[in-house]
Amino acid sequence: MIYRETALEGAMILEPQLFNDERGYFMETFRSDDFKSHCADVDFVQDNQSSSVKGILRGLHYQVNKPQGKLVRVISGEVFDVAVDLRRSSKTFGQWVGVYLSAENKRQFWIPEGFAHGFLVTSDRAEFVYKCTNYYSPTDERGVAWNCPEVDIDWPLDDIIAPVLSAKDSCSCRLSQAEVFK
């Protein structure tokens, strides 16, 4: 696995090594000791999977009292995946980084605790899977608006008229109104 740092401290892009032959390919998608030495000394407690069609935008989600680190990847299709630093003490507070994740490039994205997370489906359909460091806690869930001008994410909306949001995501707050981390 190749671990690449991003502009946000702690957020990492992981690129697996592929072993190809006439039968197909093999890759290692996760190895705890390797991950702990390159990314974070965490344990994953929950795996999730979602399926979405083109134009669906999920996020920007985070949990306040029971924060979740997430190791995300796409097993079918493509998404533009985004992390926003919500750690007030961080020099990159309020900044974002985005990466295309796809079944083709097989990249993974590590989003540590203290970050908001979201993604936009850019292919006809996408299957998105992720590991979490904490259990889902509905009472701790918060959101920052996907189009918050204070964060100013450059979503790739070229051929998408308007992203499709859940009711919850359509009423998320601005960064300046959000409950953030120390």
| Residue 66 CB partners (closer than 8 Å, separation 6+) | 134, 135, 137, 140
Residue 75 near residue 129 (C-beta atoms within 8 A): yes
Catalytically active residues, by annotation: 61, 130
The span from the CA of 36 to the CA of 14, in Å, is 13
Beta bridge partners of 157: none
Strands, DSSP E only, in the chain? 2-5, 12-15, 18-21, 24-27, 46-53, 57-63, 70-76, 78-85, 96-102, 108-111, 115-121, 125-132, 141-143
Using an 8 Å Cβ cutoff, are 182 and 87 in contact?
yes
C-beta separation of 71 from 43 below 8 A: no
State whether residue 60 is helix, strand or coil.
strand
